[in-house]
């Protein structure tokens, strides 16, 4: 069962203020059907797995239990390999770094 923005807000409130170790960037966007699409960039698969085990899954499971949601499966994970990254939020490459 994909989640909507209201359920998402309940989940992230359980994380607290401490950043997830190893999380570089997280984006959650509403899709046309009202469900959310998540894109995360992690420093490593190990730090991602640790965050899911220690913080994310406990928050998700507690929220689902509170809302009486059962039989919810894990979302599909697609590992992507970066080909290009650019934009105003991305620092320009250091020209002296290769020198």
pLDDT digits (tens, 9 = 90+) for 28-63: 999 999 889 999 999 999 999 999 999 999 999 999
**Residue 45, Cβ density class (10 Å: 0-12 exposed, 13-18 middle, ≥19 buried):** exposed
Angle at 58 between CA 70 and CA 17, to 5 degrees: 130
On the question of pLDDT at 97 being above 90, the answer is no
Q: Could you give the count of Cα atoms lying within 13 Å of 66 in the half-sphere of its Cβ? A: 10
Beta strand residue intervals within the chain, DSSP E: 23-30, 36-42
Higher per-residue confidence, 42 vs 91: 42
- When mean pLDDT is compared across 2-6, 11-15, 52-56, the lowest value belongs to 2-6
Distance between CA atoms of 98 and 8, rounded to whole angstroms? 42
If pLDDT is split at 50, 70 and 90, which confidence band does 96 have? low
**Residue 60, Cβ density class (10 Å: 0-12 exposed, 13-18 middle, ≥19 buried):** buried
Choose among 24, 16, 35, 41: nearest CA to 75: 35
């Amino acid at each position: 069962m994909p989640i909507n923005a209201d359920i998402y807000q309940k989940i992230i409130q359980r994380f607290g203020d401490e950043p997830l170790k190893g999380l570089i960037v997280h984006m959650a966007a509403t899709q046309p059907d009202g469900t959310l699409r998540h894109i995360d960039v992690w420093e490593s698969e190990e730090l991602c797995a640790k965050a899911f085990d220690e913080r994310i899954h406990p928050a998700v499971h507690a929220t689902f239990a509170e809302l009486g949601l059962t039989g919810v499966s894990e979302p599909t994970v697609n590992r992507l390999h970066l080909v290009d990254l650019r934009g105003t939020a991305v620092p320009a490459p250091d020209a002296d770094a290769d020198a």
